[in-house]
Amino acid sequence: VPTDEHTGDLVHFVGKVSVDDDVLDLKSGALNISSPLTKALVIKRTCSIYQKFEQSAQQTKNDMIGAGQTTTTTFSIKEDWTPMGPQGQLEHFPNDPNSRGIWDELVTESGPSDTAASPAAMKLPPNLPPQMAALFQQVDLTQSPHCMSVSKSAHVGGFGLSRDIIMTEKAVFQSNWMQVPAELVPDHIESLPELRKDYNGNLTTVAEGGQPTNGDVMIKFEYIADGFDASFIVQQVLLDADPEAGVPEHKYGVDKQKIIDEKCCGKITDDLGVIWMVRAGRHDLKEMIMMAKEDEKAVTKVLRILCWILLVAGWMMLFSIFTTLLSTLPLLGALGSAAFFIVALIVGT
């Protein structure tokens, strides 16, 4: 149980994440569920649209004469679901446009977004599946027609959990999504008669028993239930009153503990970073310290492997002048490339 004397101190505690008897609902609108959900920590609505995507395949052949190579690129179209919204024109298939379906109507019925528009999407490698691309680009579920709500009553014992903590620590608080009970999903929406509820409890424009076509949409409702265990090594803080939310339900909260190394009687200080550990499950202090050490070892191993790959690649680039010359000879070219690769592995190690 937190007390005033430990405010500002580094604390370790374990407990169940709970919202008590609070109910959670999405933002009011036509695409909301029929009634609020109990025992829900987070609830989200994800809208996807069936779109065309361009795929490329490359085939490289060594030239019979000289040391050159010929690369042939073949482009094709693949259709799949994506939560990233309607896609633009395909570069190599200008006569195969994507349909927007009722996406614009979904945005209108969802109302204004909770936050400002997200920055431009990052450039991703080609041929990534749309769902994987959405994970890399982190679909902003606060932008219409998507929606996400987080319980304001979330806590572990006497410690309140803010929305920021639940949103940033996804591995702990957003790892076990479940489908919202089908009875809470409306059977139909008057303003969007194209939508129907399928056997999974999703709203969709796909005809019953049919296959999706370009421009079809699907709306999925999911939530995270409370009642799971979590362990913390954090700084205990006092929660301030929010002008919009008012007085917090719990007096104490958690934050990152800054570590400052003071030298020369406090005249010189070094910022050693922060201590912040939140893990799923029940772990005592010793276990969490061991987990932190294992995480540090894993990062060190990854950095070492990356440095080794860069060293090998650097040596291969130095040897490339010789492998290029040898590639003019069919048999010696392959043997020479293999030999120089083995040498690069040895030298790089």
pLDDT tens, residue by residue, 7-18: 999 999 999 999
Q: What is the pLDDT of residue 250?
A: 82
**Averaged over 213-219, what is the pLDDT?**
96
pLDDT top residue among 21 and 132: 21
CA distance 121 to 94: 22
Least confident of 99-113, 124-138, 144-158, 241-255: 124-138
Q: What is the pLDDT of residue 119?
A: 47
Residue with tokens 């749309």: 130
**Averaged over 279-286, what is the pLDDT?**
95
Least confident of 135-144, 207-216, 249-258: 135-144
pLDDT top residue among 120 and 182: 182
Is the pLDDT at 123 greater than 80? The verdict is no
CA distance 79 to 84: 14
- 179 and 44 Cβ atoms separated by less than 8 Å: no
Q: What is the pLDDT of residue 344?
A: 78
Q: What is the pLDDT of residue 46?
A: 95
- 20 and 250 Cβ atoms separated by less than 8 Å: no
Is the pLDDT at 289 greater than 50? The verdict is yes
170 band by pLDDT with thresholds 50, 70 and 90: very high
**Tell me: the pLDDT tens digits for 91-113?**
889 999 999 999 999 999 987 76
Q: What is the DSSP string of 195-221?
A: -EE-TTS-EE-SPTTS---TT-EEEEE
Q: What is the pTM of this model?
A: 0.80
**Tell me: the pLDDT tens digits for 297-341?**
999 999 999 999 998 888 888 877 777 777 766 666 677 777 877
Is the pLDDT at 60 greater than 80? The verdict is no
Enumerate the β-bridge partners of residue 178: 223
Q: Which amino acid is at 30?
A: A
Residue 15: CB atoms within 10 A of its CB come to: 15
- The pairing of beta strand 37-38 with beta strand 23-24: antiparallel
Is the pLDDT at 277 greater than 90? The verdict is yes
Question: How far out from the chain centre does Cα 12 lie?
Answer: 27
Torsion angle, CA of 128/129/134/137, rounded to 10 degrees? 0
Grouping H, G, I as helix, E, B as strand and the rest as coil, residue 53 is strand
- 151 and 173 Cβ atoms separated by less than 8 Å: no
pLDDT top residue among 266 and 41: 41
- 31 and 25 Cβ atoms separated by less than 8 Å: no
Q: What is the pLDDT of residue 136?
A: 56
**Averaged over 252-260, what is the pLDDT?**
87
Residue in 222, 217, 221, 195 with CA at minimum distance from that of residue 81: 217
pLDDT top residue among 25 and 343: 25
Is the pLDDT at 241 greater than 70? The verdict is no
Q: What is the pLDDT of residue 120?
A: 47
Q: What is the DSSP string of 14-36?
A: EEEEE-TT-EE-PPSSTTS-SS-
**Averaged over 222-234, what is the pLDDT?**
96
Residue with tokens 């020369």: 264
CA distance 195 to 228: 35
**Averaged over 132-146, what is the pLDDT?**
76
Enumerate the β-bridge partners of residue 275: 257
127 band by pLDDT with thresholds 50, 70 and 90: low
Burial status of residue 64 (CB atoms within 10 A of its CB: 0-12, 13-18, 19 or more): exposed
- For residue 190, give both structure tokens: 């008057």
Q: What is the DSSP string of 334-348?
A: HHHHHHHHHHHHHHH
* Cis amide leading into 145 (omega within 30): yes
| Total residues found in the chain within this entry | 349
Is the pLDDT at 256 greater than 80? The verdict is yes
Q: What is the pLDDT of residue 129?
A: 63
- For residue 151, give both structure tokens: 């319980």
Least confident of 35-39, 266-270, 271-275: 266-270
CA distance 204 to 318: 56
